[in-house]
């Protein structure tokens, strides 16, 4: 028995959990809906209490640590999931190396932020700029959480990963409620509610990882090379996902005054709630598809993109129709200006989510470099489009820039299937069989839950 295996077995470990992929997605969707509800609560509280200008200042303070840490992952989370599935005997050293690499990349994010942020948001108040710099030091929390959740998902422990998602919004909501009822909320102490609370889930996660993997720095150079070889090739996909979420904010903050920034952030937050279906599928699809045959990966990807896009489109249609009423009801009449850009962003979310689901096929088949190149090419359109359209059309121009870029990336990914993988383009149009599959899965799970309830009642009677 080799040395690494002995180290892992000397500590209590948690065996890989077996879970039906469809049920794992359903559980993830439920968790994300709860997360969305909590995030919606924090957004409503802060938007109503701070008004558009204050909400804009809050946005620029909490944006940078998450954006820069997520943008500088170097593909480590994806590489860790892939390598843990391929090399389970090296789990201890792989996770140890990944955590160390995450810390180093987060330090790089801090340095870049300290240098660039003051110049980029110089038209904001000096106090807002100062707090934006201070909150940059929370970047390691984001980096560690990304790596830790990837490790848990590689073991099919989606339940633990999902629970980590709930801690931050729950604590943030509680913090904001206290500030609201004590009439002490400002953009600066509200920002602390978003940033500082990450300490709690990070501590819980590190404890769980120690029990599962016993992270080690043994064979550090070898593990780093193994992670880097895949990570650098997949980095473009991670970067594209991050940029799709944050690059528009990072760019428009340069040209928008605080009030318009606050209105744009509210529209963006409401549209991003639709990400729940696609991100839940991605969370399960990638680790489940690794080591499968190409045809099996294609079939899994096809069904996943059809089902998630169908659900996202249905929810998105509701937001498009009821957009003005929803904005007024949740955030206040001051945010009705966001109606037009909200409808554009809803369409963009549907397309960007489908793009990321399709990209998982390349990740699972060990060909991340191909889709990285294609994704980056499409994403590079975002920067000039935002710079060109935002000054001319305001927040609507920013939404159009995202939509054009996302559409281009989706076309690139679809065409790359026959060109690079030599397989048919996955079907993305929903079928009746997909609906039957979803209903069948729900029905079976309800039947299992009902049977368990009956057995539990019988045991209690006995």
DSSP three-state, residue 354: helix
Q: Who's near 27: CB < 8 A, 6+ residues apart?
A: 19, 158, 159, 162
d(CA 320, CA 178): 33
CB atoms within 10 A of CB 163: 16
Contact yes or no for 363/420 (Cβ under 8 A): no
Q: Which two tokens stand for residue 306?
A: 């059809």
Residues 269-273 have a mean pLDDT of 89
Residues 27-38 have a mean pLDDT of 76
* Statement: the pTM of the whole predicted model exceeds 0.85: no
DSSP class of 417: I
**Strands (DSSP E) along 81-232, which ranges?**
none
Per domain, the residue ranges of the chain are 8-442
Residues 147-156 have a mean pLDDT of 86
pLDDT tens per residue, range 69-114: 999 999 999 899 888 888 888 899 999 999 999 999 999 999 999 9
Name, of 16-30, 97-111, 150-164, the range with top average pLDDT.
97-111
pLDDT exceeds cutoff 70 at 176? yes
Contact yes or no for 142/69 (Cβ under 8 A): yes
d(CA 100, CA 149): 15
In angstroms, what CA-CA distances link 256 with 94, 202, 325, 332? 43, 34, 25, 20
430 or 221: which carries more pLDDT confidence?
221
Q: Where are the alpha helices (DSSP H) in 155-197?
A: 158-181, 187-195
Residues 338-361 have a mean pLDDT of 93
Contact yes or no for 195/62 (Cβ under 8 A): yes
Query: Sign (positive/negative) of CA torsion 199, 204, 207, 211?
Result: negative
| pLDDT grade for 21, boundaries at 50, 70 and 90 | low
| pLDDT grade for 453, boundaries at 50, 70 and 90 | low
- Main-chain dihedrals φ then ψ at residue 254, nearest 5 degrees: -70, -30
The overall longest dimension of the chain from CA atoms, in Å, is 74
The torsion region of residue 219 among left (phi > 0), alpha (psi -120 to 50) and beta comes to left
Structure confidence at residue 24 (pLDDT): 60
CB atoms within 10 A of CB 184: 10
| pLDDT grade for 27, boundaries at 50, 70 and 90 | low
Structure confidence at residue 29 (pLDDT): 66
d(CA 374, CA 410): 10
d(CA 103, CA 108): 9
Place of tokens 């002490």: 184
Q: What's the length of the chain?
A: 462
DSSP class of 419: I
Contact yes or no for 437/310 (Cβ under 8 A): no
Closest-CA residue to 155 (of 24, 36, 269): 24
pLDDT exceeds cutoff 50 at 125? yes
Q: What is the CA 5 to chain-centroid distance, rounded? A: 32
Instruction: Output the average pLDDT for the chain.
Output: 85
| pLDDT grade for 460, boundaries at 50, 70 and 90 | low
pLDDT exceeds cutoff 80 at 340? yes
């Amino acid at each position: 028995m080799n040395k690494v295996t002995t180290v892992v077995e000397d500590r209590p470990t948690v065996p890989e959990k077996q879970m039906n992929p469809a049920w794992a997605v359903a559980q993830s969707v439920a968790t994300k809906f709860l997360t969305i509800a909590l995030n919606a609560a924090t957004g409503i509280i802060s938007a109503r209490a701070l008004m558009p200008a204050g909400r804009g200042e809050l946005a620029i303070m909490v944006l940078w640590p998450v954006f820069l840490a997520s943008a500088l992952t170097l593909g480590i989370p994806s590489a860790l999931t892939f390598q843990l599935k391929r090399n389970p005997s090296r789990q201890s050293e792989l996770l140890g190396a990944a955590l160390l690499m995450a810390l180093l990349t987060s330090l790089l994010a801090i340095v870049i932020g300290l240098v660039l942020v003051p110049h980029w948001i110089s038209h904001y108040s000096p106090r807002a700029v100062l707090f934006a710099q201070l909150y940059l030091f929370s970047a390691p929390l984001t980096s560690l959480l990304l790596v830790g959740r990837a490790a848990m998902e590689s073991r099919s422990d989606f339940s633990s990963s999902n629970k980590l998602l709930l801690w931050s919004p729950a604590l943030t909501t509680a913090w904001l409620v206290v500030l609201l009822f004590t009439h002490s909320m400002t953009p600066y102490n509200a920002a602390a509610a978003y940033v500082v609370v990450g300490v709690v889930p990070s501590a819980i996660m590190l404890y769980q990882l120690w029990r599962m993997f016993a992270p080690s720095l043994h064979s550090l150079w070898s593990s780093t090379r193994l992670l880097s070889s895949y990570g650098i090739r997949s980095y473009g996909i991670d970067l594209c996902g991050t940029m799709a979420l944050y690059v528009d904010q990072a760019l428009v903050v340069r040209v928008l005054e605080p009030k318009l920034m606050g209105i744009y952030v509210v529209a963006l937050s409401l549209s991003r709630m639709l990400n729940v279906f696609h991100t839940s599928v991605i969370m399960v699809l990638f680790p489940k598809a690794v080591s499968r045959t190409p045809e099996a990966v294609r079939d899994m990807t096809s069904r996943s993109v059809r089902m998630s896009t169908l659900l996202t489109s249905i929810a998105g249609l509701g937001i498009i129709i009821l957009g003005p009423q929803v904005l007024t009801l949740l955030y206040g009449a001051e945010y009705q200006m966001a109606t037009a850009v909200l409808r554009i962003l809803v369409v963009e979310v549907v397309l960007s989510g489908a793009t990321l689901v399709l990209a998982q096929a390349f990740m699972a088949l060990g060909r991340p470099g191909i889709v990285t190149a294609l994704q980056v090419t499409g994403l590079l359109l975002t920067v000039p489009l935002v710079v060109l359209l935002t000054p001319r059309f305001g927040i609507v121009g920013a939404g159009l820039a995202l939509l054009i870029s996302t559409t281009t990336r989706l076309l690139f990914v679809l065409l790359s299937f026959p060109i690079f993988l030599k397989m048919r383009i996955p079907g993305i149009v929903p079928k009746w069989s997909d609906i039957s599959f979803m209903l069948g899965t729900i029905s079976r799970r309800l039947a299992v839950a009902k049977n368990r309830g009956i057995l539990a009642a019988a045991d209690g009677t006995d």
